[in-house]
Amino acid sequence: MAKWRWLTAGESHGPGLMGLVEGVPSGVSLTRDMINSDLARRQQGYGRGGRMAIERDQVEIYGGVRHGYTLGSPVALLVKNRDFANWSDTMSVDPAPTDRVVTRPRPGHADLVGGIKYGHRDLRNVLERASARETTMRVALGAVARSFLKELGITVVGHVVSIGSVEVTPQNWTEADFAEAEFSPVRVIDKRAEEAMMERIDEAKEAGDTLGGSFEIVAFGLPVGLGSYVQWDRRLEADLGRALLSIPAMKAVEVGTGFQQANQSGSAVHDAIWWDRDAGFSRRSNRAGGLEGGITTGMPLTVRVGMKPLSTLMSPLGSFDIESKEPFLAQVERSDVTAVPAAVTIGEAMVLHVLAGAILDKFGGDSIQEIKDRVAQWGSEVRRF
């Protein structure tokens, strides 16, 4: 049975970022424009830094697609780094004199622990790969998953819930509401919070500081029955947590009303079950976030992610040089004030990857039509249950 498997490679200032995804069924509509659309969304957002002015990410498809449709073979992608022209000597793959050596680890980054783990005395060998620049390819490959799931009527969307201390008032957002967030500089649905968020970003920039926040990802149109309770590693929320926490700077994930449930009674947490002769079983509410027992319920899948403030500060914290052991202010690399709006697109990509894998695990199939037929048949069986 086909499995959704993907990998990325490449460094932040290297020639480019590469990605490969296997398990994509044949017959899925896929073009460069589809992928570039998500890449552009990742680069947007109030509070982004200088790198976004340099890079205009454009994908090149090197395999798995012909005449606008997937072939069933692995899809191979490349996104070139335009900034490599300024780093070609420093990041050369051939033997060369070492320059731009980094020996001052930055608090909050992988610099020090990565150097210790892999034995690097030049911490640039760590930060080049640990950089969030790698998420560019995650988003590109996620766009492949988006095209696949769209064929099955599944959409994955997101919006910002908070930046710093400014938080959106929770509401039962509809799928149409999420389209409004795309017109917001901070990717927020609630326009009343937009101006306050932008003011808070300006204050942090003036202070040489950074801001974190949280965002919500919602998947609509999922069938009942993705995931499983029979083993710990087959529960869908476990896959979602792992995927979302793998994004740099992400520190917390909740499903549904998540952390809020810890302080409430059961009667205020669980979702009553409803049955209709035509539609079958459903829920009267969705506090569970579309998952019960590690399995999708057919309700919208809802996850929220907490992002820490970015670690690179223009007013850096203290650190020690790994060679001289003398105290210094931490190394300053180009950074954003906040990347929460951009992180929404990355979060969508990771959820898309998890759901694409769950679809293949449940239904299998080598062509999109084969999978469509199986999903439709399953839907009929669910309604008759």
Q: Between 3.40.190.10, 3.60.150.10, 1.10.287.110, 3.30.470.30, what CATH number should domain 5-384 receive?
A: 3.60.150.10
What mean pLDDT do residues 17-32 have?
98
Among 49-58, 146-155, 187-196, 297-306, the least confident range:
49-58
Look at the pTM and tell me if it is higher than 0.85.
Answer: yes
pLDDT bin (cut points 50, 70, 90) of residue 54 is low
Q: Looking at residue 267, what is its pLDDT?
A: 85
pLDDT, averaged across the chain:
93
Q: Looking at residue 330, what is its pLDDT?
A: 67
pLDDT bin (cut points 50, 70, 90) of residue 98 is confident
Q: Looking at residue 49, what is its pLDDT?
A: 65
Among 42-46, 359-363, 372-376, the least confident range:
42-46
Could you tell me the residue ranges of all domains in the chain?
5-384
* 3 state SS for the chain: CCCCEEEEECCCCCCEEEEEEECCCECCECCHHHHHHHHHHHCCCCCCCCHHHHCCCCEEEEECEECCEECCCCEEEEEECHHHHHCCCCCCCCCCCCCCCCCCCCCCCCHHHHHHHHCCCCCHHHHHHHCHHHHHHHHHHHHHHHHHHHCCCCEEEEEEEEECCEECCCCCCCHHHHHHHCCCCCCCCCHHHHHHHHHHHHHHHHCCCCCCEEEEEEEECCCCCCECCCCHHHCHHHHHHHHHHCCCCEEEEEECCHHHHCCCCHHHCCCCEEEECCCEEEECCCCCCCEECCEECCCCEEEEEEECCCCCCCCCCEEECCCCCCEEECCCCCCCCCCHHHHHHHHHHHHHHHHHHHHHHHHCCCEHHHHHHHHHHHHHHHHHC
